[in-house]
A and B are shown apart, each in its own frame.
Chain A
Amino acid sequence: MAGTAGAGGASRPDPDVAAARIQDLAYGLIRVLGDDALAVGAWDPGLTSTLLLRGLRAMLLTRMFDDRMFRAHRQGKCSFYIKSAGEEAIGAAQSLMLDGGDMCFPTYRMLSWLMARDYPLTDLVNQVFSNAACPLRGRQLPVLYSARSHGFYSISGNLGSRFGHAVGWAMASAYKHDRRIAIGYIGEGTTAEGDFHEALTFASVYRAPVILCVTNNQYAISTYQGIAAGDAPTFAAKAIGFGIPGLRVDGNDFLAIAAATRWAAERARTNHGPTLIELFTYRAEGHSTSDDPTRYRPEREPAAWPLGDPIERLKHHLIRSGDWSEARHAALTQELAEAVRTAVKEGESIGTLGQSKPDARSMFEGVFKEPDWRLREQMREFGG
């Protein structure tokens, strides 16, 4: 592993710096929150406690919602589920650091982006339950959300193939001279796909205003990150060959993620081009409802992971700063549990998997803007 120097150690260049001058940042680790939960160093973003508390709330809500939906799967209420456990800081921090008009091209572990932007919990539940009120009308698996109103592009189960869409979207924004930027995500395992290299090539060639993120959670289902990395010391260092900055960031450190994102966003908005950010994190639980992680990694590894839990780290930082307390945290937890309970009840009142679903005739709609004769005939043939 490349350097995991202590918090505050990394230098913070101006966002218009030449990429070639900051190659060290691709091999180090940008950390702001130290083991003592204090914010230190040049990358401390100096965020208000209000914003940090919004982040904490989004992360906590994500984890509690995930836990409830995972149980719902075990109860047969949904077909499938994927948690973000351990990675909640990424979507929450980046969602809050970017503007409402910016567009996120997410992976399926980015629920905290939506939580930070107050996406309705009942819409999430209805999609997870594939019921009549599913906002995507039952066309997608649970967790493969799409929320244009919340700057959240359509997720699909195939990996990597939207990384280049973020670049194209950003190029379009640049062409239209607006200030909006795109942020795209790919898992460290999927950096082996051509999509990753194609997106970086186009981002570099056209200097697209885009932030490209590798969420390195150490595992592609059961496969450890080395199977994708080979002898490359970091994923951030892959930026160097493309001539763009690569930042390797502690992905469990809300403040470091926020700072790096703000840096890359400023670089993009001032026409200095793309940035690759490796978010070094850890998938604290299994890949999905379909696997048992103890079959392929040491049982005690999650507890031993050195960079800690992102929620605990931000919580302790806020407590040490005097902006938070165990009592208030307990009250927040209770409030969010109630919100999740209410949303689940609403979803259940419409129906869980198999009890309720959208009008099946709607499956013939939306293939094209207007259905052609095949779809019209097949809808008639289907009846329903």
Chain B
Amino acid sequence: MPSMNMIQALNSALDVALAGDPDVLIFGEDVGYFGGVFRVTDGLQAKYGLQRCFDTPISESGIIATAIGMGAYGLRPIAEIQFADYILPAFDQLVSEAARLRYRSNGQFWAPITVRAPYGGGIFGGQTHSQSPEALFAHVTGLKTVIPSNPYDAKGLLLAAIAEDDPVIFLEPKRVYNGPFDGRRDQNAKSWVGHPHSEVPAGDYRVPLGKAATVRPGSAATVLAYGTMVHVALAGIEESGADAELLDLRSIVPLDIEAIVESVKRTGRCVILHEASRFGGFGAELSALVQERCFYHLRSPIERVAGWDTPYPHAFEWDYFPGPARVVAALQRVLEN
């Protein structure tokens, strides 16, 4: 089985999708001739032609509007937003149009679109290349939001997302494009080579949306994470020595509530991680769900480890980024009781 980093795995997914369905098109800023600023669409225009993989004007709202119109016609477009930070000009299209088209037309029209966007921090990208806006999308009913953490999942989830008849926001944690970054920036960057999840089948396979993965079984606490934070969580758990269970949510809508509840009821403790700032973040929803469904099983208050409630601060990236030390501290707090 080929070994791939996440970029190669995503590229392979797009290749499979283009080869398998003539109604799949890919477009976005710099995705065609150049192959994308992160090279995810590298070679696809050369292989499939200008009609199927093409560059767009710098107009995120226009990109998504075009995708919705194509989807309403019956195509299955995949739009790339160059950085998730730039998705906000398209927010109206996603919220007011893509998410509601099926509902408001009573099923006459729908938007089977996939919107890919590199997201998250850890690359010294400053405020406009580092944000994690997943909670904005999770709050919008009618959208699905997927966040892979490794190459195998990235390809399988992307192929599942493309096959969806509902709009999917597919957020790619760019800090783990090239290797499983665990938040310890003082260590040498790791590559995906040799990692079990870098073994990626060349052909078609799907990782279903809404199914969490148990990255590490455990009995003392449940850690919920997605994207880059899965690797940070693992480092923190190992550093703490706690027998914590780690769930990689893989998609936040749909959410694998059964896996979360089953785990927390068993462990009695819960730590929730995300890079995005804490207040009103997706961790707040997770925390509410866990207390609603697991309150009488909890032995300590739920902990959230998240970005601070500031804009993403460039020179203070590593003061802001919720690294393993904060995971260790949170685990210690939940394990005090």
Contact = CB atoms under 8 A, between A and B. Distances in A.
B241 interface: no
B57 A202 contact: yes
A352 B281 CA distance: 42
Interface string B158-202: 000000111000000000000000000000000000000000000
Interface in A168-222: 168-173, 175-176, 182, 194-195, 198-199, 201-202, 205
B77 to A, nearest CB: 8
B220 interface: no
Contact of A164 (B61, B104, B141): B61
B181 to A, nearest CB: 31
A137 B102 CA distance: 12
Given A172-B73, A372-B253, A139 B65 contact: no
Interface of B: 25, 51, 56-57, 59, 61-62, 65-75, 77, 89, 92-93, 96-97, 100-110, 141-142, 144, 164-166, 210, 253-255, 257
A366 B66 contact: no
For the complex of A and B, 10 pairs with smallest distance between CB atoms? A168-B69, A164-B65, A198-B62, A165-B69, A172-B73, A168-B66, A154-B105, A146-B105, A169-B69, A148-B108
B89 to A, nearest CB: 8
Interface stretch (A62-70, A107-115, A155-163, A309-317): A155-163
B73 A373 contact: no
B109 A367 contact: no
Pick from A144, A161, A164, A205 the residue with the most CB of B within 10 Å. Answer: A164
A146 B110 CA distance: 12
A166 B66 CA distance: 8
Contacts, number: 135
A163 B65 CA distance: 8
Nearest to B71: A168
Contact of A369 (B61, B92, B166): B166
Nearest to A375: B141
A247 interface: no
A92 B25 CA distance: 35
A161 B51 contact: no
B209 to A, nearest CB: 10
A245 interface: no
A172 B75 contact: yes
A175 B106 contact: no
A167 interface: yes
A154 B51 contact: no
Contacts of A158: 92, 96
Contacts of B75: 172, 175-176
A162 to B, nearest CB: 7
Given A367-B141, A367-B142, A368-B142, A146 B102 contact: no
B69 A166 contact: yes
Nearest to A182: B69
A372 B181 CA distance: 32
Contact of B104 (A146, A166, A169): A146
Given A146-B105, A168-B65, A175-B25, 16 more contacts: A135-B106, A146-B104, A148-B108, A153-B109, A156-B97, A164-B68, A169-B70, A170-B69, A198-B57, A198-B59, A202-B62, A366-B102, A366-B106, A369-B110, A369-B166, A373-B257
Given A161-B96, A202-B59, A367-B103, A154 B109 contact: yes
A194 B59 CA distance: 9
A228 interface: no
Q: Which of B68, B72, B77, B107 has the most CB of A within 10 A?
A: B72
A148 B109 contact: yes
B335 to A, nearest CB: 30
A153 B93 contact: no
A173 B73 contact: yes
Given A166-B69, A202-B57, A373 B104 contact: no
Nearest to A105: B69
A167 B69 contact: yes
